Amino acid sequence: MQTLQFTAPPLPHYITSGLHTNKVGQIHPGRRNINVFDLLLVKKGTLFMEEEQETFEVRENHALILLPDRYHSGTKPGLIDTEYYWLHFQTEGMWTTIHTNHHLQSVKEEQPKPPHSAFLTRTFHLYVPQFTAMDQPQKAFDLIDQLTSLNEGLNMHQIRWQQQVLFQELLQRISASMQIQTTNTSRQCAELAAAYLRRHYQEEITAAQLGENTNFHPVYIARCMHRQFGCSPMEYLQRYRIDQSKLLLLQTDYSIARVAEEVGFNQGAYFTSCFTKFEGISPSKYRQRFR
């Protein structure tokens, strides 16, 4: 399964939506680089879709998000009339895809970076499954119905705002449908380990230590965290360290080496390379630019 990770702020925003019916035998048209995310939510029937070699059978109550930079098309005609919602949205922020399948390695495709407006911004991530069964489909249908009907309203600035709120709720619902798929205990294990990492990020941490302190086997922890967060424990730790370092860069005058040390890096040079890898810009440039 693939998960979309959005970095927020900025939040993804709603553009437009509608309800469409494909007659029996009708195939979804193929399109490339549509430049928006296209959410499909099937109300009745099944859509047979394909996106760059990956095929999806989007049945009733299932949601699929087509990505802006890929080619997609229908693979075969529907057996009955197929009724589905479509919704276009977009983000100004960064986003990546994460493969959470068993044997697929995690592949990141960094999107071109928009100007980072960070000034002590606390960023966070939204995780949204690309393809999922909706938990309470009727609620999602209602939301899109509302969104769509608002488009016909008059008081546009009011309405646009309201639409964004509704859209956020919809996104949340789609995201929540994913969390049900990971079971309780494995989530707990992942959260426990993550909490430990966040508490001790300033120290040197090994996988074995993490295991001892959480009373789980390191291998098992890695599996749970991958399910829950779509990344390995060490990658999680690094992300957190980099996040903390960003705060120090903006709030203090510590040298780069000092910052590196504060967030748990033993080597200044190594810190710089990691920071650049994640942020696409070196620590000192980051500091220069954002304060």
Partner DNA sequence: ATTACGTCTTAATAGCCAAG
Partner DNA sequence: CTTGGCTATTAAGACGTAAT
Which of 46, 238 has the CB closer to DNA? Answer: 238
Give min distance, CB of 154 to DNA, in A. 50
Task: With beta carbons less than 8 A apart as the criterion, state whether 78 and 22 touch.
Answer: yes
Which of 44, 125 has the CB closer to DNA? Answer: 125
Which of 150, 222 has the CB closer to DNA? Answer: 222
Give min distance, CB of 224 to DNA, in A. 7
Give min distance, CB of 156 to DNA, in A. 45
Task: With beta carbons less than 8 A apart as the criterion, state whether 7 and 61 touch.
Answer: no
Tokens of 94: 């960064």
DSSP state, 245? H
Interacting residues with DNA (CB under 7 A): 102-106, 183-186, 189, 204, 206-208, 215-220, 222-223, 226, 232-235, 238, 255-257, 265-270, 272-274, 276, 282-285
Which of 156, 269 has the CB closer to DNA? Answer: 269
DSSP state, 264? T
Which of 79, 208 has the CB closer to DNA? Answer: 208
DSSP 190-208: HHHHHHHHHHSTTS---HH
Give min distance, CB of 45 to DNA, in A. 28
Residue 291: name the closest of 32, 76, 118 by CA. 118
Alpha carbons 236 and 193: distance in angstroms, whole number: 10
Alpha carbons 14 and 157: distance in angstroms, whole number: 14
Strand partners of residue 48: 57, 76
62's enclosing H/E stretch is: strand 62-66
Task: With beta carbons less than 8 A apart as the criterion, state whether 31 and 70 touch.
Answer: no
Give min distance, CB of 113 to DNA, in A. 15
Which of 150, 189 has the CB closer to DNA? Answer: 189
Q: Which residues contact 118 (CB under 8 A, 6 or more apart)?
A: 246, 250, 290
Which of 144, 197 has the CB closer to DNA? Answer: 197
Give min distance, CB of 65 to DNA, in A. 23
Give min distance, CB of 74 to DNA, in A. 31
